[in-house]
Structure 1
Amino acid sequence: MKGKIKYIFILLLGFHFLSCEGDLNPQLYGTITNEDAFKTPQDLEAATTALYYELRQKGWGPYLFTDGSSFVMDVAVTDEWTTKWAWTNFLNGTWTTQEAMAIRFYDWTAPNITRCTYTIARIEECALSDEVKNEYISQIKALRAFFMFDLYRFYGPMPMIIEAERAINPDPDYRPERPSAESVEEFIRTELRTAADMLPVEWSQYGRITKGAALHYLLKYHMFKKEWQEALNIANEIIGLNYYRLEENYADIFSAQNEGNRELIFVIRAEALADYGNHTYANILPGDFASPHGNVVDGWNGHRMPWDFYDTFDENDKRRELAVVEYRTKSGSITNLRETGDIGALPLKYGIDPEASGIWAGNDKVMDRYAEVLLFKAEALNELNGPNEQSINLINDIRKRAFGAGVSIPSEIILKEEFDTEINGNAAGFFTMNNYDENNGAAWTYAIDNTSVLSGENSLHINVIRSNNEFWALQVRADNQPVKKDRTYSVRFNVKSSQNMNLDFRSEGPLSHTEIIPLTAGEVKNVSFDTTSAGEDGNCVIFFALGNTGNNYDIWIDDIVFEAKEQVTGGVGDFLIKLSDFPDKESLRDWILKERGWEFWYEGKRRPDLIRMNKYIEVGQQVGNNFGEKNLLFPLPSHVLIENPRIKQNPGY
């Protein structure tokens, strides 16, 4: 990242808790003593920066790309990632209590809970103003909740030091049992909510935890718990901050020049220097890979995107372009990985930093971004309501960028009728009542009903005395509605009938469409559907046909909207999805899982997605051996059980 990052190591709280985390005794490293600490705002800044440092730990820490990081744990034994290295146990899910890549995250991260608790306690007792103290306490509370949530989802509920007295005066004989899941979940929820309420939307110093970052972790928690309404509320809260937006170019999100990008919610900052950088590409590149910028970069020839996953992308999807199949070698030749029999493409989502040297690049590690808020909202809406237009629109917002779509022609309401005026002759607003077959016995009466039968105060009330045997016998009709060639339209209205029947919606002229709507007696139906596209410019007629529906019944219609849908310009292929593509909740859920895979590959999202959608074991059994229920959690390190015999190992280990 451009602009040198100056990590402050004056106050690095390096103590561990014996029964849960290792060595008991607090150790303070740096140039100030325990007695001198927490006296000035600079002390609080130093203590807080030391906790941010725990995210990266010289580039080899728990939240970057190293072995044992949360990233590797969240992509292992999934369909989106593999490695050429001899990680047999980890690639099969046959990890054990001695497997460094399964337990290292715990050993790195569990002590940080105590460090956060200790630091909060010391700040709270210091003599500075509440305004100054809360600036740092809010960030540390959020960090502590981040650590707690990730430990919980990987290892289940574990005892952590969250009481100030235990952190400041540790007891070597304290050996608690595992807490209940409910108590850990309550702590995570409360801590994140409290932090979010204290934090600003933006800091002057880039890379700090903001209100949006705390809310996004709370959103991830509710999605993890499948608490759909709560998740929807938080997603709307983040959107309502009116701060975040999608970056126009997908590749730019991850470039070394991405600082300040409004799609980014939380990142771990990096600079192309040893111990300060990000070594993502070093895990990926073959040793003979030549940087397109001419700088010297090292590669360990490991991480890959399996061909089966690569081939799920549409060939016009620009997100796939960051997965490299063909590269130029240092000798100048071209290597095609598929042709050479490699196991997959190079997942170079984080493009090569022009200033990178050796293994270190300046690309910030993207932890959370706004695109996930939109897709989480689409998923929550589907789980609550089944397939719906809002979920489809949110997914299409993501797909427009993926397929290079340009500026869109906005949606436009062509007709909206709420029946707020009285009937004039045979006209009710835009609509007229047509008795086409009156001479053959069709008969009806109509009036404006103001008794709030439907959602609005007024509705059109029709009493069908006698229908006839043709669909056009009785019509509620609006003429001369303008349509444009190749544009699709949406229709929405509310309707209620006193008997079971089929209502016909029809449009004729340049826009030809028929929709048959089944109605159940006495039930209000909120109807919404899309039409086919118009064949040419011109005026069409739209109408409701009541013929051949029986005699002596009532029907009410209200809130009719005929709307030109947003029209995307640019982009290649038929890439927008349609509500009519998804007959049920399960089909849209499956699509969202695919869309999240295409959008978030190589970002450490796949394992929680598969678990949430009940696919992790199924996928794990396809790509690994002996994969099963136990793999929903990782094993606890053996030393944790030795230090505290009251803690029980996770099932299956």
Structure 2
Amino acid sequence: MKTRNIFFSSLLLIATCSCSLENETFDQLSADNVMTTESDVKAAVTGIYHELRGGGWDRYNCAWGSLLTMQVGCTDECDCNWVWDKQLDFLWTAETTDLSAFYLGMVPAVTKATALLERMRPISISAPVKRRYMAEVRCLRAMWAYDLYDLYGTVPLITDPDIALDPERAQDYMPERPSVEWYVNFIDTELKTAEENLQTASELSASDYGRMTKGIAQMYMLKLYMHEAGQERHYRNNEGKAMMWWSRVDSITNVIINDGEYMLQKDYMSIWSPSNQQNKEVIFPIPNFPQGGLGNCFLAHALPADYVSRNGISLTKWGGFLVPWDFYDTYDPNDKRRNALLATYWNGKKMVDRRTEYTGKPGAIPMKYQENPNTTGQWDASEYVINRYAEVILARAEALNELHGPTQEAKDLVHQIRSRAFDNYEGSKYEKEINDITDRDAFRSHLLKERGWEFCWEGMRRPDLIRHGELISNAHARGKLMAEPKHILYAIPQSVIYENPNLKNNEGF
């Protein structure tokens, strides 16, 4: 649809013209970039969204070093035909370049957001419009702060506008790492403040699809609360605080569900269908355009070199991403979610069986993102699905179980997810499997498996395993014996440690 392209066409201009975010100095006031009108503000805020993409490979894209691959690459749902051994085998150090890219991109992005917020404050435009644009920037800043925290622990952020707007002070700013208490409170406060002034998904115009919404702010509150619940239980030994965070998960999931903005799609694979974009299951999308740096390149990373499209689409195929057979085989054969992982494919002459006929590294092909006719080289126009409503459903089931045990409400939430995965679900053995669980620990264990089946290769597995205290034991069970407790975090890049003598790396690095 034509209106859909306006927002990310603006990003295309920002990424390619001489006034791109990469070239324009957003952290300084000058005669050339002072904002005075609503259109100036909108252009500047649209520009800050480009930080999600970087150069089109890492950050919130899908190449090595992206948030996605950092969240799956050290887990049981991931293997790779390329030399990713440092991540796959828990061998990373502070000098592992690709695992530093997210840090080196998003910490400066937080500074840019801080500077932009301050530049917007004195501008005289409609108060509601100004609050909304500032809320978008605050939501982005809090989101980036959270994802950095999840990967690296607390990191120094420039949230003081006086420092952000002064390049010399920013360069000389060498703080110690902030406390967990300060960092978590900062993210939570920013998200709540942003939520008050953001539009809902249904209020957002089609031309602004992809901008921050109330639902995205609420989704990141949910992620923060679940993260803290797991940290308190397994790594800080404070069960009382863990239950406090689970109560917050209960509350925020109740809000999201009762708002009625989102709903599950009836067909699982339709979530990622090019013909079903902007569907109501997607909470946080990143729209894409079939052009370098602005497109979805997941299929190029996943498809084997001899894969041939039966739709006549010219596809780039690097054959990297894999799902190990051990993980694939945990799916019930009747689980339709397994159809997103290709065990066979067409090579132009016959169907190739990945188990018996493929000579490369063994594993199924993750293919939730599907062939898109709107493709140029490795870039296609399928939106990235960062977060979706199924996460809310299963998070609420998990919170209810932690607080009250496997209640009927918790089981019914799981039934919502499984009923689209299995035909004739009502009264089936698949429904009975859930209804027969009476123990909190057994239900917790099942939810970890259910989330694995539901969210394979969506960037949920590492946080899930850490929250359950199982990342390292899971690695050892797979023969990854170099995994140690320190590996629940990635290392702060060594280059950053060299620059700031007050900054200490994560323990063990």
| Same fold per superposition (TM over 0.5) | yes
Contact kept? 2:26, 2:112, Cα under 8 Å: no
Q: Which residue of 2 aligns with 1:338?
A: 355
Contact kept? 2:156, 2:175, Cα under 8 Å: yes
Q: Which residue of 2 aligns with 1:647?
A: 503
Whether 1:390 aligns to 2:388 is no
Q: Which residue of 2 aligns with 1:370?
A: 389
Q: Which residue of 2 aligns with 1:176?
A: 175
Q: Which residue of 2 aligns with 1:233?
A: 251
* Shift, 1:243, TM fit: 1.4
TM-score (norm 1): 0.70
Whole-angstrom CA distance in 2 between matches of 1:322 and 1:292: 17
SS at match of 2:376: coil
Contact kept? 1:306, 1:345, Cα under 8 Å: yes
Q: Which residue of 2 aligns with 1:349?
A: 368
* Shift, 1:638, TM fit: 1.1
* Shift, 1:34, TM fit: 4.6
SS at match of 1:225: helix
Relative contact order, CA 8 A, sep 6+: which one is greater?
2
* Shift, 1:625, TM fit: 3.5
SS at match of 1:59: coil
Contact kept? 2:265, 2:280, Cα under 8 Å: yes
* Shift, 1:81, TM fit: 1.1
Q: Identify the match of residue 615 of structure 1 among 466, 470, 481.
A: 470
Whole-angstrom CA distance in 2 between matches of 1:292 and 1:388: 47
More deviation, 339-348/135-144: 339-348
Whole-angstrom CA distance in 1 between matches of 2:26 and 2:386: 29
Q: Which residue of 2 aligns with 1:222?
A: 225
More deviation, 101-110/4-13: 4-13
Superimposed CA distance per residue, residues 510-532 of structure 1 (whole angstroms, 9 cap, x where no aligned partner): xxxxxxxxxxxxxxxxxxxxxxx
Whether 1:379 aligns to 2:378 is no
Contact kept? 1:256, 1:361, Cα under 8 Å: no
User: In the TM superposition, what are the counterparts of 1:285-296 in structure 2 within 5 Å?
Assistant: 285-296=303-314
User: In the TM superposition, what are the counterparts of 1:126-525 in structure 2 within 5 Å?
Assistant: 126-170=123-167, 171=169, 172-202=171-201, 203-204=204-205, 205-226=208-229, 227-330=245-348, 332-340=349-357, 342-405=361-424
Superimposed CA distance per residue, residues 460-484 of structure 1 (whole angstroms, 9 cap, x where no aligned partner): xxxxxxxxxxxxxxxxxxxxxxxxx
Superimposed CA distance per residue, residues 332-373 of structure 1 (whole angstroms, 9 cap, x where no aligned partner): 222111013541100111111123232111111101111110
SS at match of 2:365: strand
Q: 1:28 to 1:118 in 2, by over 3 A?
A: closer
* Shift, 1:35, TM fit: 4.4
* Shift, 1:40, TM fit: 1.0
Letter of the 2:498 counterpart: I
Superimposed CA distance per residue, residues 589-637 of structure 1 (whole angstroms, 9 cap, x where no aligned partner): 0100010001000100000000001111111223324101110111111
Superimposed CA distance per residue, residues 299-341 of structure 1 (whole angstroms, 9 cap, x where no aligned partner): 11111111011111111111101111111114x2221110135
Superimposed CA distance per residue, residues 407-456 of structure 1 (whole angstroms, 9 cap, x where no aligned partner): xxxxxxxxxxxxxxxxxxxxxxxxxxxxxxxxxxxxxxxxxxxxxxxxxx
SS at match of 1:73: helix
SS at match of 1:292: coil
* Shift, 1:58, TM fit: 4.3
**RMSD (CA atoms):** 2.0
Whole-angstrom CA distance in 1 between matches of 2:131 and 2:77: 41
Superimposed CA distance per residue, residues 263-308 of structure 1 (whole angstroms, 9 cap, x where no aligned partner): 0101111122333210001111111110121111011111111101
Contact kept? 1:158, 1:178, Cα under 8 Å: yes
Whole-angstrom CA distance in 2 between matches of 1:270 and 1:579: 38
Q: Which residue of 1 aligns with 2:25?
A: 27
Contact kept? 2:411, 2:435, Cα under 8 Å: no
Q: Which residue of 2 aligns with 1:635?
A: 491
Return 5+ residue gaps in structure 1 as ranges: 16-25, 407-566
Identity %: 38
Whole-angstrom CA distance in 1 between matches of 2:493 and 2:59: 15
Contact kept? 1:56, 1:268, Cα under 8 Å: no
Whole-angstrom CA distance in 2 between matches of 1:40 and 1:405: 57
Superimposed CA distance per residue, residues 472-512 of structure 1 (whole angstroms, 9 cap, x where no aligned partner): xxxxxxxxxxxxxxxxxxxxxxxxxxxxxxxxxxxxxxxxx
Whole-angstrom CA distance in 2 between matches of 1:132 and 1:112: 23
Contact kept? 1:272, 1:360, Cα under 8 Å: yes
Whole-angstrom CA distance in 2 between matches of 1:326 and 1:642: 48
Return 5+ residue gaps in structure 2 as ranges: 230-244
Whole-angstrom CA distance in 2 between matches of 1:260 and 1:153: 27
TM-score (norm 2): 0.90
Whole-angstrom CA distance in 2 between matches of 1:387 and 1:286: 42
Say which one has the larger Rg.
Answer: 1
* Shift, 1:221, TM fit: 0.5
Letter of the 1:151 counterpart: L
Superimposed CA distance per residue, residues 135-161 of structure 1 (whole angstroms, 9 cap, x where no aligned partner): 210111000000000101111111111
* Shift, 1:13, TM fit: 4.8
Q: Which residue of 1 aligns with 2:96?
A: 99
Q: Identify the match of residue 107 of structure 2 among 101, 106, 110.
A: 110
Q: 1:243 to 1:173 in 2, by over 3 A?
A: closer
Q: 1:404 to 1:274 in 2, by over 3 A?
A: farther
Superimposed CA distance per residue, residues 530-564 of structure 1 (whole angstroms, 9 cap, x where no aligned partner): xxxxxxxxxxxxxxxxxxxxxxxxxxxxxxxxxxx
Q: 1:405 to 1:356 in 2, by over 3 A?
A: farther
Whole-angstrom CA distance in 1 between matches of 2:184 and 2:264: 31
Whether 1:68 aligns to 2:65 is yes
Contact kept? 2:60, 2:66, Cα under 8 Å: yes
Q: Which residue of 1 aligns with 2:44?
A: 47
Whole-angstrom CA distance in 1 between matches of 2:353 and 2:287: 33
SS at match of 1:266: strand
Contact kept? 1:200, 1:210, Cα under 8 Å: yes
Whole-angstrom CA distance in 2 between matches of 1:578 and 1:587: 11
Q: Identify the match of residue 122 of structure 1 among 119, 124, 133.
A: 119
Letter of the 1:254 counterpart: W
Q: 1:603 to 1:34 in 2, by over 3 A?
A: farther
* Shift, 1:580, TM fit: 4.9
SS at match of 2:334: coil
Contact kept? 1:282, 1:359, Cα under 8 Å: yes
Contact kept? 1:243, 1:262, Cα under 8 Å: yes
Q: 1:184 to 1:71 in 2, by over 3 A?
A: same
Whole-angstrom CA distance in 2 between matches of 1:405 and 1:372: 23
Whole-angstrom CA distance in 1 between matches of 2:274 and 2:325: 27
Whole-angstrom CA distance in 1 between matches of 2:438 and 2:142: 39
Letter of the 1:334 counterpart: M
Q: Which residue of 1 aligns with 2:242?
A: none
Contact kept? 1:285, 1:302, Cα under 8 Å: yes
Letter of the 1:255 counterpart: S
Whole-angstrom CA distance in 1 between matches of 2:26 and 2:52: 19
SS at match of 1:402: coil
